[in-house]
Amino acid sequence: MSNISISPSQPQPPLPTPSPFSFSVASTRWSSRRPPIHAFNLFLRFLALVLSSASALSLVAPKSSLRKQPTTFRDYPELVYCFVVNILVFVYAAYQLFKGICDIVHRGIFISDMVSDYISLIFDQLAGYLLVSASSVAVPVIQQMNNGNSLWKAAMVSVCMSFASFLVIAFTALLSGYRFCKRIIW
């Protein structure tokens, strides 16, 4: 065996102390801080925003027929309810999308994660319930309308978009429930 000794005359470099002011390129990347589930959640929020706005806009702007005085969705309280619910879901999806983008840019200081998980869990379920109830209330009114009417076509598009928006919100509710349960368990 060789005899290796460290001479006391050679000072050893001190161990580096971690500093909160140190900068690492690898730690500043979004993908290293956020798992892909957050990007998928943002995509779903954007999809809910687009679908709910398409549902609301299809009720507001149907093509007018020149034959007679066209009826509007304001003449049917069920369609007004469907319109209001889609506007509320649009506002909620815009808020969640804004919050998600702020979390990326400002590293989660807009709202704490715990409060955000509670808000998302409660309001995703509420939005899903409202969308299903609005779609189911509008269906009997659509069945009673004249099939060739432009309002009938607009209401059909609105209910279809509203139901698609419900499916997206239901999936985001599942993701919110997953994040909430993960927070409670761990």
pLDDT at 111: 76
139 contacts: CB under 8 Å, gap ≥ 6: 159
Question: Which residue in 168, 21, 180, 65 sits closest to 114, CA to CA?
Answer: 180
Domains of the chain: which residue ranges? Answer: 36-185
Would you state the pLDDT for residue 4?
62
Handedness of CA 56, 57, 63, 69 (dihedral sign): positive
Residues in the chain: 186
Alpha carbon distance 90, 171 (integer Å): 16
Q: Tokens for 1?
A: 């065996």
Count of CB atoms within 10 A of residue 16's CB?
7
Q: Tens-of-pLDDT digits for all 186 residues of the chain?
A: 556 655 566 666 666 655 444 444 444 444 445 567 888 989 999 999 999 999 999 988 876 555 555 578 888 899 999 999 999 999 999 999 998 888 888 776 667 778 888 889 999 999 999 999 999 999 999 888 877 788 888 899 999 999 999 999 999 999 999 888 888 876
Which token pair is 33?
């801080």
Fill in the amino acid letter for 152. Answer: W
